[in-house]
Amino acid sequence: SAVISQKPSRDICQRGTSLTIQCQVDSQVTMMFWYRQQPGQSLTLIATANQGSEATYESGFVIDKFPISRPNLTFSTLTVSNMSPEDSSIYLCSVRLLFRDTQYFGPGTRLTVL
């Protein structure tokens, strides 16, 4: 299994500001992903974080709004830029371990934008 930590666990931010969320994994992983879960909703994939190169974004998500870094195998950041109240959500990172098909999720970062 994998232990995934996210920082911060929650934050309340003002409209127009940006927040960077960190994801750290204690195991070697092959893939890292960022998901968004809006209040009372399911999870939607934002992007795949690629080590050493630009992330691969899903339809409806763009790099200018959600820049992602992954400098090494076990760490990634997601920035939510120029925030609006519509960005209020839980943001979760998930990982797939080397030689395993199972995905593990972090505890999430609960973001409220005022």
- Which residues sit at the interface with another protein, rule CB under 8 A? 4, 30-31, 33, 41-45, 48, 92, 94, 96, 101-108
Nearer to another protein, 89 or 94 (CB): 94
Nearer to another protein, 14 or 52 (CB): 52
Q: In what order do the strands lie in the sheet with 4-7?
A: 4-7, 19-25, 75-80, 68-72
Q: How far is the CB of 94 from another protein (least distance, A)?
A: 7
Q: How far is the CB of 66 from another protein (least distance, A)?
A: 16
Q: How far apart are CA 47 and CA 90, in angstroms?
A: 15
Nearer to another protein, 19 or 108 (CB): 108
User: Can you read off the two tokens belonging to residue 105?
Assistant: 């999720």
What residues contact 80, with CB distance under 8 A and at least 6 apart? 18, 19, 21, 65, 66, 87, 91, 111
Could you check whether the bond before residue 8 is cis, i.e. omega within 30 degrees of 0? yes
Q: How far is the CB of 51 from another protein (least distance, A)?
A: 14
Nearer to another protein, 84 or 103 (CB): 103
Q: How far is the CB of 45 from another protein (least distance, A)?
A: 6
